[in-house]
Amino acid sequence: MTDPFLDIRNLCLSFGRLRALEDVSLSVRPGERLALLGHNGAGKSTLFKAVLGFLQPSAGRIAVTGHAPGTDAARIAVNYLPEVVSFPRNLTGREVLVFFSGLRGAPRAAVADLLARVGLTEASDRTVGTYSKGMRQRLGLAQALIGAPRLLLLDEPTSGLDPVSRQEFYEIIADAAARGSAVLLSSHSLEEVQDRTDRVAILAQGKLRADGTLAELAAGAALPTRIRVTAKPGAADELHAAFGGRRVNGCRLELECPQDAKLAMLAQLGRHEHALSDIDLAAPGLNDIYRHYSGRNETEDRT
Ligand SMILES: Nc1ncnc2c1ncn2[C@@H]1O[C@H](COP(=O)(O)OP(=O)(O)OP(=O)(O)O)[C@@H](O)[C@H]1O
């Protein structure tokens, strides 16, 4: 297996008495996209800043392509898209990329290709001040792609983008990974990153609660299946006495059972067919999985 471009081991980082990161270990390999999820204040930006060498860990180790953050070798290997991008409003998109290419020592000749990759060719000679938020974000991504960095750090890259722009953004990120970059991106939404990243890591209060594929996270959470039962008029008491569960209203009952006990439960319910009007099965959803690991509801974090 190839060495990771980003390797974090037992990282701890504090602000005074606040432990922003506690014993966090994770790695991202070439061509891999890892989504770092967590609610506001979970420690995502702090982790990014530590990888960039802007913040010093109190313990643990970070290696960017084998080099310590902040060294020249690590700086060349990594590029970053901050949560809020801002460029001089009176420069054109092309001028911005030429400027940043100069800073990174990347060839000017690659700017046209970068503009094409993010779909800004036609707008390339307009000033940034005339760009929409989505266009500025694309320019930010093009800036992050300058010099084909081995490690791409994207801090909530799609916040504020509409669904179509979001999808296009993830396609560009997939293309960067296909070209060999390791991608670490942060997000608040498991729903958004499913099918668009290879693995998901969940941070909560500075601790890493999960790291794996969505299927692994779902299996690890071992969440129950919910069975919603609607009783025939007057039969809810009988079903409640037989199965327990939560009474939702006069005729509905909500039961939970482990995934592997689902069929047995349905068979048992079948024995009370005379009392049943309907049965509805709900497998655990992404929100349930996220809440299990983070202790929070995904939708709460977007507010
Ligand atoms: N410079 C700082 N000084 C003191 N505390 C800080 C500093 N930067 C971050 N923190 C604290 O560290 C914790 C983690 O913050 P961080 O910005 O990493 O969270 P986040 O997961 O990126 O949140 P968000 O999703 O809101 O961007 C928070 O409690 C925050 O208040």
Q: What is the ipTM of this complex?
A: 0.97
Atom of ligand 1 nearest to the CA of 206: 14
Q: Which residue has the tokens 């068979």?
A: 267
Q: Does the structure show a pLDDT above 80 at 296?
A: no
What are the tens digits of pLDDT across the range 147-189?
A: 999 999 999 998 878 888 889 899 999 999 999 999 999 998 8
> Which pLDDT value is given to residue 301?
44
Domain boundary among 219, 239, 255: 219
Section 263-292 average pLDDT? 89
Domain boundary among 202, 219, 236: 219
Q: Does the structure show a pLDDT above 80 at 303?
A: no
> Which pLDDT value is given to residue 233?
92
Confirm whether 75 is domain-assigned: yes
Same structural domain for residues 131 and 149? yes
Q: State if residue 42 touches ligand 1 by the CB under 6 angstroms criterion.
A: yes
Same structural domain for residues 46 and 64? yes
Q: State if residue 215 touches ligand 1 by the CB under 6 angstroms criterion.
A: no
Q: Are 188 and 303 in contact (CB under 8 A)?
A: no
The amino acid at residue 77 is A
Same structural domain for residues 200 and 95? yes
Domain boundary among 195, 219, 243: 219
Q: State if residue 284 touches ligand 1 by the CB under 6 angstroms criterion.
A: no
CA angle, 37 then 120 then 82, to 5°: 30
The amino acid at residue 179 is R
Same structural domain for residues 231 and 160? no
The two structure tokens encoding residue 54? 């802007």
Q: Are 92 and 126 in contact (CB under 8 A)?
A: yes
Same structural domain for residues 66 and 213? yes
User: Closest Cα to residue 229, out of 266, 190, 192?
Assistant: 266
**Terminal Cα-to-Cα distance of the chain (whole angstroms):** 41
Instruction: Write the CATH number for 278.
Output: 3.30.70
Same structural domain for residues 40 and 177? yes
- The number of angstroms, rounded, from the C-alpha of 136 to the middle of its chain's C-alpha atoms is 21
Confirm whether 155 is domain-assigned: yes
Global confidence as pTM = 0.84
Confirm whether 201 is domain-assigned: yes
Q: Which residue has the tokens 């500025």?
A: 136
Confirm whether 292 is domain-assigned: no
Q: State if residue 101 touches ligand 1 by the CB under 6 angstroms criterion.
A: no
Give the domain extent around 110.
Answer: 6-219
Q: State if residue 182 touches ligand 1 by the CB under 6 angstroms criterion.
A: no
> Which pLDDT value is given to residue 165?
86
Confirm whether 303 is domain-assigned: no
Q: What is the total count of domains within the chain?
A: 2
Same structural domain for residues 71 and 123? yes
> Which pLDDT value is given to residue 297?
56
Who has greater pLDDT, 241 or 284?
A: 241
The alpha carbon of 20 and the centre of ligand 1 are apart by a number of angstroms equal to 7
Confirm whether 248 is domain-assigned: yes
Same structural domain for residues 253 and 155? no
Atom of ligand 1 nearest to the CA of 21: 14
Same structural domain for residues 96 and 199? yes
Confirm whether 293 is domain-assigned: no
Same structural domain for residues 35 and 96? yes
Section 285-300 average pLDDT? 75
Q: Which residue has the tokens 């309907």?
A: 278
Same structural domain for residues 120 and 258? no
The alpha carbon of 19 and the centre of ligand 1 are apart by a number of angstroms equal to 10
User: Closest Cα to residue 9, out of 75, 55, 66?
Assistant: 66
Which of 11, 14, 18, 296 is the pocket-test mutation for ligand 1 (most atoms within 8 Å of CB)?
A: 18
The alpha carbon of 18 and the centre of ligand 1 are apart by a number of angstroms equal to 10
Tell me the DSSP string of 106-172.
Answer: --GGGHHHHHHHTT-TTTTTSBGGG--HHHHHHHHHHHHHTT--SEEEESSTTTT--HHHHHHHHHH
Q: State if residue 41 touches ligand 1 by the CB under 6 angstroms criterion.
A: yes
The residue whose C-alpha atom lies closest to atom 7 belonging to ligand 1 is: 15
What are the tens digits of pLDDT across the range 218-264?
A: 888 888 888 999 999 999 999 999 999 999 888 999 999 888 888 99
Instruction: Write the CATH number for 69.
Output: 3.40.50.300
Confirm whether 298 is domain-assigned: no
The alpha carbon of 189 and the centre of ligand 1 are apart by a number of angstroms equal to 18
> Which pLDDT value is given to residue 206?
95
Percent of the chain with pLDDT strictly greater than 70? 97
State the number of CA atoms in the 13 A half-sphere of 200 facing the CB: 27
Q: Does the structure show a pLDDT above 70 at 1?
A: no
3-state secondary structure of 44: helix
3-state secondary structure of 98: helix
Which of 11, 12, 13, 15 is the pocket-test mutation for ligand 1 (most atoms within 8 Å of CB)?
A: 15
Q: Does the structure show a pLDDT above 90 at 288?
A: no
Atom of ligand 1 nearest to the CA of 301: 25
> Which pLDDT value is given to residue 73?
95
Same structural domain for residues 82 and 231? no
Which of 13, 37, 46 is the pocket-test mutation for ligand 1 (most atoms within 8 Å of CB)?
A: 46
The alpha carbon of 182 and the centre of ligand 1 are apart by a number of angstroms equal to 24
Q: Are 140 and 85 in contact (CB under 8 A)?
A: yes
